[in-house]
Amino acid sequence: MKQASPSLLSRISLAFGTFFSILSDGQFAARVQALRSGEQRAEPSAPAAAKPVTVPLTAAAPDGALQLLGLLQREARFIDFIQEDVASYADTDVGAAARVVHEGCRRVLRDNFTINAVREEAEGSRLTLPAGFDAAAIRVTGNVVGQPPFTGSITHRGWRVSEVRLPRLAAGHDLRIVAAAEVEL
């Protein structure tokens, strides 16, 4: 059965989730890096008898991602902040800059997306996942053995985009220019 390409909303959600997973998990970052370079990596936690499932990958249309990156740059100077080598700056200077970037990023998310929690329970709450739970919306971690139902604690409620309100673009607009060069006269 051929799997349909994920929607723009799904790809944006996946991009953000992957971005923060890469920042917080070095092993995950290494797996993503290997995937992007086309390397085959053996998963140490995979059982020896399990055969990897090969899912054909399709290229994602970059337009929405480029538009979002442009909005983050315009409102939060996101690219400027990330491209800057902050190692030589004092923590207080980096913290002050991060506040500006954070507020701009929040504004972009608030103005362009409706984002809701995947699970409504508070983090730390106990719950039971029944058989057939949505594995795309809920990632089971820890000592996963056997089949559902699984009982555990919510460590992150997750995020789901329910509405996208990206601005309309003029014909001929080059989305690859996420910040124009500035020349003062």
> What global pTM score does this model have?
0.64
Task: Give pLDDT tens digits for 120-151.
Answer: 999 999 999 999 999 999 999 998 989 999 99
CB-based contacts of 175: which residues, under 8 Å, 6+ apart? 62, 63, 66, 67, 70, 169
Are the beta carbons of 163 and 113 closer than 8 angstroms? Answer: yes
Tokens coding 151: 């009982």
Residue with tokens 């337009």: 63
Q: What is the reported pLDDT for 1?
A: 46
Q: What percentage of residues in the chain have a pLDDT greater than 90?
A: 64
Chain mean position to CA 20: 6
Longest dimension (CA), the chain: 68
pLDDT digits (tens, 9 = 90+) for 65-105: 999 999 999 999 999 999 999 999 999 999 999 999 999 99
| Distances from the Cα of 105 to the Cα of 67, 83, 111, 147, 148, angstroms | 14, 16, 10, 40, 38
Better-scored residue on pLDDT, 9 or 115? 115
Sorted by where each begins, the domain ranges of the chain are: 1-43+56-61
Are the beta carbons of 31 and 41 closer than 8 angstroms? yes
